[in-house]
Amino acid sequence: MPIDKGNSSTTVVAMTIASSSRTVVPPAEKSGKFSRANFKGWKQRVFFWLTTLGMQKFNSEEPPVPAMDMLNNKKFMIVEVWKQADFLCKCYILSALEDNLYNVYSVMNTLKELCDALEKKYKTEDVCLKKLMVAKFLDYKIIDNKTVGTQVQELQLIFHNLIAEGMVVNEAFQVAAMIEKLPPLWRDFKNYLKHKRKEMKLEDLVIHLKIEEDNKLAEKKYRGNSTIMRANIVEETAPKSKKRKRSSRQTKEQNKKKFKGNCYNCGNIGHKSPDCLGNPKEWWIDSGATRHVCAVKEVFATYSTAGPEEEISMENNARAKIEGYGKIFLKMTSGNVLTLNTVLHVPTIRKNLVSTSLLVKN
């Protein structure tokens, strides 16, 4: 780095270096000790620390070489001041190393030599950190006995670390991975999210997960540990006759004869209500259901036809066609009327379901 004679900035640069070399940094501003872990983060903190001292350039520059025709006193001032500042800066970094590392690297002559040695040694080790971060991401599973919100934050931190290591992890991948890692008790909500056609942002997904977790906590508090409870709904059904326990032989013989009466459930001829596959009139409160579902179109107060490809995912992972949406008024035995909004009309469902999470939410 030759320096021309008569350059007035030379003295200014020298004075700046000299002033920086006399700077005393309070202990609170110094970087933490480096102990062979997270070299990249430690390096960034040290670089910021040196920047506040105005010495960050010494880790990449060679000593200045004054011009041959420069006065000797200027040559001496420039070279010696640079050496003094480089020495102090090197000592600053050495003081940020643990004792065993200090003994190894204290023999380095210049700051650049020290930084190059640390880079060569520990930047290579950081390459292995990428593999560890990927393994941590692949092994991570959201569990039921810990709040989902806390685990989502941990997963976001893993994504952040992967991106910080230079790996390409776009938002769509983060959303899909976070949905896939939801626990088994979130299966219905997980299937609901997976079948959404509109692409979701990560921020929106986190909000949805938070709302769903709050609903589950409120539902657990509201219903206790019960999973499915039968509702007291007033239905105009024919009384069921008392059945007598028969032997297996008698049952088989009776099954051979086709039932000729009307079904109490759907009104059709040829089967009994226990064997009815559709149009149930009883309603069940289901803590696992995420939507209200009804098989009987006639009970809808308002009705809108659904699209040709709209389906609902069942508990056994089967899919059923949604014929429409609407509002239903249920009359309770107490005389009160329960209003269910946006009820799905699914003719093939065996039981009419009332979602407890929607009841709590509304």
Whether the per-residue pLDDT at 102 is higher than 70: the answer is: yes
The model's confidence at residue 327, banded by pLDDT at 50, 70 and 90, is very high
Ranges 32-41, 92-101, 114-123, most confident = 92-101
| Strand-strand pairing, 293-294 and 337-345 | parallel
Whether the per-residue pLDDT at 258 is higher than 70: the answer is: no
User: How many CA atoms, within 13 angstroms, populate the side-chain half-sphere of residue 47?
Assistant: 11
Residue 135 is predicted with a pLDDT of 87
| Tokens representing residue 204 in the block | 């929106």
For residues 236-265, give the mean pLDDT. 54
Whether the per-residue pLDDT at 15 is higher than 60: the answer is: no
| Tokens representing residue 285 in the block | 């409160």
Q: Residue 51 CA to chain centroid, in angstroms?
A: 35
Question: Per residue in 155-191, pLDDT tens?
Answer: 999 998 888 777 888 999 999 999 999 988 888 888 8
Residue 179 is predicted with a pLDDT of 92
Q: From start to end of 33-163, where are the E strands?
A: 65-66
Tell me which residue of 253, 258, 282 sits closest to 270, measured CA to CA: 258
> Which pTM was predicted?
0.39
The model's confidence at residue 262, banded by pLDDT at 50, 70 and 90, is low
| Helix, strand, coil percentages for the chain (3-state, nearest 5) | 50, 15, 40
User: In this predicted structure, which of 45-59, 65-79, 142-156 has the lowest mean pLDDT?
Assistant: 45-59
The model's confidence at residue 326, banded by pLDDT at 50, 70 and 90, is very high
Question: Per residue in 276-304, pLDDT tens?
Answer: 655 566 788 887 788 899 988 888 999 99
Question: Which residues, 6 or more positions from 343, have their beta carbon under 8 angstroms from its beta carbon?
Answer: 291, 292, 293, 294, 300, 325, 326, 327, 328
Whether the per-residue pLDDT at 17 is higher than 70: the answer is: no
The model's confidence at residue 57, banded by pLDDT at 50, 70 and 90, is low
Question: Which residues, 6 or more positions from 47, have their beta carbon under 8 angstroms from its beta carbon?
Answer: 56, 59
Whether the per-residue pLDDT at 64 is higher than 80: the answer is: no
Average pLDDT, rounded, for the chain: 75
**Helices and strands counted in the chain (H then E):** 12, 11
Residues 57 and 63: their CA atoms lie apart, in Å, by 11
pLDDT higher at 277 or 8: 277
Tell me which residue of 343, 320, 312 sits closest to 330, measured CA to CA: 343
Residue 232 is predicted with a pLDDT of 43
pLDDT higher at 209 or 247: 209
